[in-house]
Every structure is written in C-alpha cells, then in structure tokens.
Amino acid sequence: MDFFNKLGDAISGIGKDVSQNVADLTGIARLNMDIRKREDFVKKQYTEIGRQYYDLHKGEEEPFFEEINLITEALQEIEQLKVQIADLKGKKKCPVCGAVNEGEAMYCIKCGARCESVFEDEDVQETEKTQEEIILDEVKEETE
Ligand SMILES: [Zn+2]
C-alpha cells in the first residue's frame, strides 16, 4: 500500500533527524521541540488512518464507529454550504438590512435601500502541505 511506503520513508527520515539532534543538542527546549514535531507527525498518521478507515467503511449500514455517520453528516453539510455559497455568488447584499437581492437589483426588495455591493468570494482556505513537504521542511530547518 502506497500509504505504508510513505510512512516508512517518513519514519526513516525521522531516524536520521534523531542522530543529528544528538550531535548538535542545545538543551531541553530543543528536545521538547523535537517531541512536539513527532507528536504532530503521529497525529497526522492517526488522521490518515482514520480517513482510510472511513473510506473503507462509509458504506456500511451499521458501522462499528458511530463517528462514521457523524463524518458523513458533516460532509453532507459541507456540500450544502457549498451550494449556499454558489447561490450567493453574483447576488447583492443589502447594506442596510442584509437581505439577499438579485444581481441586477438596484434597490433592496425588503427595505428599499440602494444596493451596490455584490457578495464577494472570501476564500480564506489555506493550502495544506503534504506529509513529504512537511518532513522536507523539518529536515531543511534542522540542517540550516
Ligand atoms: Zn434592505
């Protein structure tokens, strides 16, 4: 499985880090930082295993973990929210009462105030790094 190959690579990468850290050990703060990095790494592996478990068992009528259904519900909610965003695009928001008006509307259908501003796409999502990129960054940090 591809995931386990990647995991193996990542772990051997960490092994190299450990021997290097022993050489340029600078104190407890440094060691605590290394512990935190590995704790983050383990957390990400837990998440990855959970994602794979979910993919394998999401179709089951009575899954072993109740969380499977909760994840499915949350994913469906995300889809509905995305539909809501798509619906808002190109429409105008009333600056006075906040009502949603058609894009061509000059005045609010609810309160009659003048509408000019169109809903903006405020995407604040950050791109997530892959596991390899994170490991590479860490190795780079420590060799610099
Ligand atoms: Zn209004």
CA of 105 from ligand 1 middle (Å) equals: 11
The 3-class SS string of 51-66 reads HHHHHHHCCCCCCCCH
The pLDDT, as a whole number, for residue 26 is 77
Residue 7, CA atoms < 13 Å, CB-side half-sphere: 12
The pLDDT, as a whole number, for residue 80 is 93
CA of 9 from ligand 1 middle (Å) equals: 58
Q: How far apart, in whole angstroms, are the C-alpha atoms of residue 23 and residue 40?
A: 23
The pLDDT, as a whole number, for residue 70 is 95
> Residue ranges of the chain with pLDDT lower than 70?
1-25, 121-132, 134-136, 138-144
Whole-model pTM: value is 0.51
CA of 122 from ligand 1 middle (Å) equals: 22
